[in-house]
Each structure stands twice: as structure tokens, then as C-alpha cells.
Amino acid sequence: EVKLVESGGGLVQPGRSLKLSCIASGFSFDDYWMAWVRQAPGKGLEWIGEISQDSSTINYTPPLKDKFTFSRDNAQNSLYLQMSKVGSEDTAIYYCATGSFDYWGQGVMVTVSS
């Protein structure tokens, strides 16, 4: 069974950093592009970006390119999202997904507030 499990969310103060993790199982993680998508409360889906199998190619949505950093550890079947200088606009559920979006995690909530 394919599973993607995000973690690392919670309450964070404005201007601080936060690192989300996504642990994959049930498929050959190192064969897949992986992606991050977020959803602000009551809003639609926003594509954040994607990372290739060997991390050689990373595409970000331009408004978040300087704020978010993707990485992965194929030996640990893990995907990461490093968020820096967060603001209230980053409050959202963050989902990891396979690059073709055929599988999604359950999401992790990030709340930015003082």
C-alpha cells in the first residue's frame, strides 16, 4: 500500500523557520518525482513545487522560490520542505504527493501566529 505521511507542522511564530517531512512507503521512492502542494484554510490548492528523483532538478512556484527549499533523502524514503521567514500567508495544510499527483499524503497543518 502506498503511504505518504507528513510531519513537522504546528504553530510557528512569524519570521521563524520550519521544516516539514514526508515519509514514503509502498513504492520505489527513488523512481519518482515528488511535489508539495498547500491549501490555506477554506481556500483552493496551490502548487509549491517539485523535485526530481536525484534532486538535480527542482521547480518552485516563483513567489515562494526564495522562501521554501526542497530536499530529499532517497535512502530514508524521505522528502523535506524547509520553510524560512514564514508569515501569516503561509498558514495552510501542506501536502506531499508523488510528482504525477497519483498519491497524496494526509497533509500537515502549519499555523503561523504570534
Partner 1 sequence: DIQMTQSPSVLSASVGERVTLSCRASQNINKYLDWYQQRLGEAPKLLIYNTNNFHTGNPSRFSGSGSGTDYTLTISSLQPEDVATYFCLQRNSWPRTFGSGTKLELK
Residues that bind partner 1 (CB under 8 A): 37, 44-47, 49-50, 59-62, 95, 100-102, 104-107
CA atoms within 13 A on the CB side of 17: 8
- Comparing CB distances to partner 1, the nearer of 13 and 55 is 55
- Comparing CB distances to partner 1, the nearer of 13 and 45 is 45
- Residue 81 contacts residue 48 (beta carbons within 8 Å): yes
Enclosing H/E stretch for 109 = strand 108-112
CB of 13 to partner 1, least distance (A): 27
